[in-house]
Chain A
Amino acid sequence: MKTNRREFIKSSALASASVLVPGFLKSAAKNFSPKGYNGKSLVIIQLSGGNDGLNCLVPFRNDFYYESRPDIGLGEEDLIGITDHAAFNKNLEVLAQLFDGGNLSVINNVGYPNPNRSHFRSMDIWHSASDADKYVQSGWLGRYLDSTCSPGCSKPHLALEIDETLSLALKGENLKGLAFRSPETLHLLSSNPLLMKEGENNVSQNSMHPQVDYLHKTLAETTQSAEYIYQHSKIYKSKSAYPNHDFGKRMKLIAELIISNSETSVYYVSLAGFDTHVFQKGTQNRLLKVYSDAIKSFCNDLKSNNRFNDTLIMTFSEFGRRVKQNSSRGTDHGTANNIYVIGGKLSKPGMYNDLPDLKKLDNGDLIYNIDFRNVYATVLQKWLEINPDFILKKKFDALSFI
């Protein structure tokens, strides 16, 4: 019985090998090089769970920092100084190096009005770029996709998430990005022999139900994109050494796709586990090292292939944490946080703005003075070269870090 099933799959794979692309997608397939790609890539790294920015970039001259964090405050032996007042957690070695080399811009105190302390809700707000009291069910990068092409065009590979499931950030009102963990698995799933990628004769644009067309269109786009990604992933296999953990592998895949010219504008990847309510120090340090080692390999890989200057890497988290440590040697959900922007061509590298004022807190929390949507507007306008107003649904001025 088992043998038969396997044979069945094998034989039906042959039968569906001559898959035909539905007619109405053929014209889209011809223009496979996306209009939205301008030769530059934006890589977004999401630190999920609420990364404690205050223990990443430490105001080591500030007594109040050490008073607020008697057990988890980082002393000199745990730090790498970058300015007279600020030092990176030594597990973020790569950021200190990039800072010294003029390839990092640190934007402090980023947040939004009426901050929400729920992971879900705050992440929702960051993904949808909505006000804290609005429920917008599309993501800012998805709406970037929407604005890159008129209805009917198809290029999901313009925005890729290296994950099994697609985040809200990459879901537009019309178009959506593509999520996958490995090009091989994606290829395998999309060439499932049972998927009847129907021939031209039975897909029409005027079915009684638009939903039928929508499903077929999504499937056809997916299989096309899967093939496209799979082929590109074979062009360049990185020879650089990456740390052998999952996040390292994901960053390696992104580098490979960038270097093999997959013409992708946005890459999205997450590193989770930052919800450090309890015994924060060990957990966070471990995660930061995972991040730092992978980013180091990634930047070196891009540099040695001359792609570092076309790549901008932005790291954020859904919120920072409270200034005071809690009773379990951890920290609870806070509000404003720092964002790290890495790139070869920054116009304002270094410290973009002042460190948070630990004496001026809102109920124990850092006060934001840069709206995250100003950061979004900056990368949309100056990096992806697109008008941010429609995407952000409001006017946000661009900042000057790029």
Chain B
Amino acid sequence: MVTGLPINYMKTTRKNIQHLFLRSGFGSLPANIEKNISRSIPEIAEEIFSASQNYSSLDFINNPIKGREKKGASAFQILKMIIKSRRETEDLNIIWLNKMAQDPAQLREKMTFFWHNHFSTNVPFSYLMQLQNNTLRKFALGKFGELLHAVAKDPAMIIYLNNQQNHKDAPNENFAREAMELFTLGEGHYSENDIKEAARAFTGWAVNRKGKFEFHEHDHDYGEKEFMGRKGNFKGEEILNFILENKQTAIFIATKIYREFVNHEIKRERIKSLADDFFSSSYDISMLMKKIFTSEWFYDEENIGCKICSPVELIVRYKKIIALEFENDQALIDLQKALGQVLFFPPNVAGWKGGNNWIDSSSLLLRLNIAQALLNEGRIIINPKPEFEDTPDEIDEENDEHILSSDWTIMNSYFTNNENDFDELLNYLVQSSVQKIDRDKIKSLVNEAGADNKIIKMASVIMSLPEFQLI
């Protein structure tokens, strides 16, 4: 490293560029990596940020307007509504997956995905799930405080964490508790009394029949509250601001972002420095992300290829590289279920835990068998557990074989069948520990298979390596 030239301190290697694109988005194609090789990391990062300036919302489900949760709806009607909403939300899921693979605003989609897990929500109202997703997208790279305020008034969140049932005369603490435990401060940084008092401040925050936020004055507790050492007739907004004034919130968010975008193993001094800057910038998410992506340590070997990609990241990567498709969309939902991550259907308010938790015997075997299916006429067996609401008739035990298809045009146009290209292909598909991979064995597997479609065969073998699961 040469002092005085801070702008060029990071080497622009293929590995580093791939790392930047995999972490700030969902990966990049070989030609784009080639295009960027002559530029500096900060220049590339700058372009990544500017590509996310403009963005488009998900605009698939229309507001049904007619009051949902009609009083007196029969169990049958409610069940029908829940099932309809589930189907629509699954459609939304597929649309978002494709958007992740194709949208130029990669960073924004990645951050939306991060907040989707952070503000984990699941309600049987597809329109509200879409609305929340667009709110997360809108504020994904803005100020965390604005995001927090928007989410606290988000209809899906209010319904999910029972703020509809948070009444002046009978407070429900669910939102207040999770807002502090999971969304901002983290466990151990508030008291049970803080939760009780905050819950009172959020009374009257409700959703109306049109699916819009509404403040019910008559149901709001205007009395005095004592929250984190302050006294006053606080409203919900003030509680959120007090939480933001607590630097622990910056530490909590910076830690979670570091674990997700850099390395599951944290380094205290880095978190401290990131949290300091995050806090003093009034929680500027873009600033925080830019700082990470242009830090020298982000490109340390220990941070490259150390992350077990989530099922969604894996599927989107397959979509990017080889345009992975199934014969029907339900199969793609089933694949997410079987791998343990279905967009819009997080397991609970704590979200997906991630890391090693993605991997067990069955999920690993399924991940590693995707590539083989590509060679095996696309046939793959996917058999997730049935939904709780499924009736016995809907639980189809036999129909578990699906057909997937792929398009290798991009790969074939970039890689050719020669010795050097094998290494290039390996380096393109695997971020970590390539030196430990038995190249000769891969080559011998491929050579025995005959001369045609070598790229597909090589790539399939590489995609069957456990290392391909690491980004």
- Contact B177 A133, beta carbon cutoff 8 Å: yes
In the complex, chain B residues whose CB is within 8 Å of the CB of A16 = 445
Q: For window 182-232 of chain A, which residues contact chain B by CB distance below 8 Å?
A: 185-186, 189-190, 192-196, 198-199, 201-204, 207-209, 211-212, 214-216, 218-219, 221-222, 225-226
Distance in Å: Cβ of A330 to nearest Cβ of chain B: 5
Interface size class of chain A, counting residues whose CB lies under 8 Å from the partner chain: 35 or more
- With A and B bound together, what is the CA distance between A327 and B308 in angstroms? 48
Distance in Å: Cβ of B436 to nearest Cβ of chain A: 5
- Contact A135 B438, beta carbon cutoff 8 Å: no
In the complex, chain A residues whose CB is within 8 Å of the CB of B363 = 165-166
Residue of A179, A246, A273 with most partner-chain B CB within 10 A: A273
- With A and B bound together, what is the CA distance between A251 and B211 in angstroms? 46
- With A and B bound together, what is the CA distance between A201 and B439 in angstroms? 12
Q: For window 336-361 of chain B, which residues contact chain A by CB distance below 8 Å?
A: 337-338, 340, 347-350, 353, 356-357, 359-361
- With A and B bound together, what is the CA distance between A192 and B461 in angstroms? 11
In the complex, chain A residues whose CB is within 8 Å of the CB of B445 = 12, 15-16, 193-194, 196
- Contact B75 A278, beta carbon cutoff 8 Å: yes
- With A and B bound together, what is the CA distance between A176 and B364 in angstroms? 12
- Contact A196 B348, beta carbon cutoff 8 Å: no
Known pairs A207-B436, A208-B301, A222-B364; A5 contacts B375 (CB<8 A): yes
Residue of B353, B385, B395, B442 with most partner-chain A CB within 10 A: B385
Distance in Å: Cβ of A100 to nearest Cβ of chain B: 29
- Contact A135 B349, beta carbon cutoff 8 Å: yes
Complex interface: stretch among A30-38, A118-126, A234-242: A118-126
- Contact B360 A209, beta carbon cutoff 8 Å: no
- With A and B bound together, what is the CA distance between A225 and B360 in angstroms? 13
Residue of A181, A189, A193, A209 with most partner-chain B CB within 10 A: A209
Known pairs A171-B357, A278-B75; A219 contacts B364 (CB<8 A): yes
Cβ-based interface call for A326 (8 A): yes
In the complex, chain A residues whose CB is within 8 Å of the CB of B386 = 48, 272-273
Closest residue of chain B to A142 (Cβ to Cβ) is B360
Cβ-based interface call for A68 (8 A): no
Closest residue of chain A to B384 (Cβ to Cβ) is A165
Identify 14 new A-B residue pairs, CB closer than 8 A, beyond the known A215-B469, A218-B361.
A1-B452, A49-B389, A50-B388, A119-B388, A176-B361, A177-B360, A203-B436, A208-B433, A212-B432, A215-B359, A218-B359, A273-B390, A277-B79, A278-B79
Which residues from chain A sit less than 8 Å from chain B, CB to CB?
1-2, 4-9, 11-12, 15-16, 48-50, 119-121, 123-124, 133, 135, 137, 156, 163-168, 171, 176-181, 185-186, 189-190, 192-196, 198-199, 201-204, 207-209, 211-212, 214-216, 218-219, 221-222, 225-226, 246, 270, 272-273, 275, 277-278, 283, 286-287, 318, 326-328, 330, 332
